[in-house]
Structure 1
Amino acid sequence: MIKSFAKINIFLKITGKMLYRGQAYHTISSRFMLYRDLYDEMEISFNSEEFQILGNFDCSLEKNTIYQAYKEILPFLNQEQKEAISHLKINVHKKIPSGGGLGGGSSNAAIFLQWVNDFCGLALNNEKLCEIGSKVGSDVPFFVSGFEMANVSGRGEIVEFYDEEALKVEIINPHIPTNTARIYEEYSKNFYKPTQENWLNLENQKILEKSALEANDLLAPLLKIHPNLNHWVKEGGFLSGSGSCFWRVV
């Protein structure tokens, strides 16, 4: 079993917009922290007639981040390696909630890329794996980096190690999956105001002194769509990413 850990966003600020591969993205300034108390487990075997992913997923195979990572790594493989991994069966025991803002899908993709790199002896460095991973999802480079905590910018592809002790937090899961595209659309339509401040230099303790609305620009559009989630803000929760899960210090 391979563990695929969750993450939280200690803060998330929108800094502007950019085009990538013909698609519009919001650029961010954020601090990611690996959350080791919550993880999916991946079991990889070679007993499948075709590339197969098993697990409690709410998307088609083609939209699965592991499958997308598989397609992106293929150009780096020789014919024998391509044949070998085309018979993989990947069984994912999902514990990270989908649509919770905890990066479960991105973490799965990153772990798969690292596994293929090791298994096939590709010797791709982290920078190259991050480049490949960024084509799959904006959060994948963070998980590839191996950092416990990092400042993340651009559309997620710029990952810089941040040296501070990890926060001790608990995750609050309201069990309301959210749609990232819809949250960003609501933000762009009604709340778009790129930050001019540099949050990357703020220590975590200073961020904890801010309000939840200040710390994550996507909280306001989330609450407009799901106003009942304001209960967890009142309970001291900070929003993670664009999902519905909150975290608070314990």
Structure 2
Amino acid sequence: MQLKIKSPAKINLGLFILSKREDNYHEILTIFHKIPFYDEIEILENKKLEIDFIKDGKVFQIENNTILRGIIELSKLTGKSFNLKIRVFKRIPIGGGLGGGSSNCGVILKFLNNFYNLKLSKNDLIEISKKIGSDVPFFILNESCAIGRGRGEILEPFNSNLKCFINLFFPNKILSTKEMYEKIKTYDNKEDAERKILNIKKAIEENKLELLKENFYNAFESVLDEELLNYKKAIENLNFDLVFLSGSGSTFVALSKNFKIFSLWIAENS
């Protein structure tokens, strides 16, 4: 057996932080949107479970990675061992706010369920994925988009009709999600956030980029340092229709109806 599957990135089209919860997570409201930018995962039969990551031809390991944690949970539920060599060819920047690790876990859980005929339901897989990370359940869905509530794991899926070029700019600077949340001291109004997120959903479904621009907001942009704010301004000077931070960063997304400059642009120095 030697199989290859694609693991898509996501962007957040709007991200509101509504409160801090008693469990120390934050209550958020967002829209996840898959994009055609992928890690490629190669799966081979093996004598034991091994997971390698490959970037620019170099093999490395990620301790306690999302794929491993997901497979452990799947094994607990099914009683089955998965003796596989899994090789993840990374294109999605690590720590860039594009959901690469969450996607890797989600697509592997779906693959294993189908390949081994485990007969787990979508809800079973979502329950497993919730234990791994707040973004992982989104990658269990077949739909291209979802409104995310709670920690991001309560999902309302829908499909996108948005037609524009997506450009990704990675400043070669990893931002810790935990540290970004710690910088948030004020919270967004729930009613205003609900209104805006529904307008963004309408914009995505009806391909209305102007409506998306009018309602777009990412709470993490309010706590960016001067270096990253200047980085964003430099991208805006290229005259895209909309430039924004994806998730907690550090990747910036630039949308344009008319032109594409880069699919992924990585700064050599930050």
TM-score range relative to shorter protein: 0.7 to 0.9
CA deviations on 1:18-69 (whole Å, 9 max, x unpaired) are 35xxx42111111111101x10000111224x3211114887422x111111
Answer yes or no: is 1:201 the counterpart of 2:202.
no
Deviation at 1:14, TM superposition (A): 0.7
* More off after superposition, 100-109 vs 154-163: 154-163
Q: Which residue of 2 aligns with 1:54?
A: 52
Aligned-partner SS, 1:209 = helix
* More off after superposition, 169-178 vs 126-135: 169-178
The count of corresponding residues between Structure 1 and Structure 2 is 233
Pick closer, same or farther for the CA change 1:137–1:76 going to 2, 3 Å.
same
Answer yes or no: is 1:160 the counterpart of 2:156.
yes
CA deviations on 1:185-230 (whole Å, 9 max, x unpaired) are 112xxx32233211331133423124xxx61001122336844434
Deviation at 1:12, TM superposition (A): 0.5
Determine the C-alpha separation between the residues in 2 that align with 1:73 and 1:134: 12
Determine the C-alpha separation between the residues in 1 that align with 2:70 and 2:147: 23
Answer yes or no: is 1:15 the counterpart of 2:31.
no
- The answer as to whether partners of 2:232 and 2:252 remain within 8 angstroms in 1 is no
Aligned-partner SS, 2:25 = strand
Once superposed, what is the RMSD of the aligned Cα atoms?
Answer: 2.1
Aligned-partner SS, 1:218 = helix
- Of all paired residues, the percent bearing the same amino acid is 35
Deviation at 1:233, TM superposition (A): 6.2
Aligned pairs for 1:140-219 within 5 A: 140-168=136-164, 169-187=166-184, 191-196=185-190, 197=192, 198=194, 199-202=196-199, 203-204=202-203, 205=209, 206-210=211-215, 215-219=217-221
- The answer as to whether partners of 2:38 and 2:91 remain within 8 angstroms in 1 is yes
AA paired with 1:42?
I
- The answer as to whether partners of 2:7 and 2:41 remain within 8 angstroms in 1 is yes
Deviation at 1:121, TM superposition (A): 1.3
Q: Which residue of 2 aligns with 1:26?
A: 26
Pick closer, same or farther for the CA change 1:232–1:148 going to 2, 3 Å.
farther
Deviation at 1:4, TM superposition (A): 0.1
Q: Which residue of 1 aligns with 2:8?
A: 5
Q: Which residue of 1 aligns with 2:115?
A: 119
Answer yes or no: is 1:249 the counterpart of 2:245.
no
Deviation at 1:231, TM superposition (A): 2.8
Deviation at 1:148, TM superposition (A): 0.7
- The answer as to whether partners of 2:32 and 2:146 remain within 8 angstroms in 1 is yes
Deviation at 1:239, TM superposition (A): 0.9
Q: Which residue of 1 aligns with 2:129?
A: 133
* More off after superposition, 91-100 vs 143-152: 143-152
Answer yes or no: is 1:69 the counterpart of 2:73.
no
Determine the C-alpha separation between the residues in 2 that align with 1:225 and 1:124: 46
- Please give the TM-score of this superposition, normalised by the length of structure 2: 0.79
Determine the C-alpha separation between the residues in 1 that align with 2:77 and 2:227: 42
Determine the C-alpha separation between the residues in 1 that align with 2:229 and 2:25: 25
Determine the C-alpha separation between the residues in 1 that align with 2:43 and 2:106: 14
AA paired with 1:68?
R
Answer yes or no: is 1:89 the counterpart of 2:103.
no
- Please give the TM-score of this superposition, normalised by the length of structure 1: 0.85
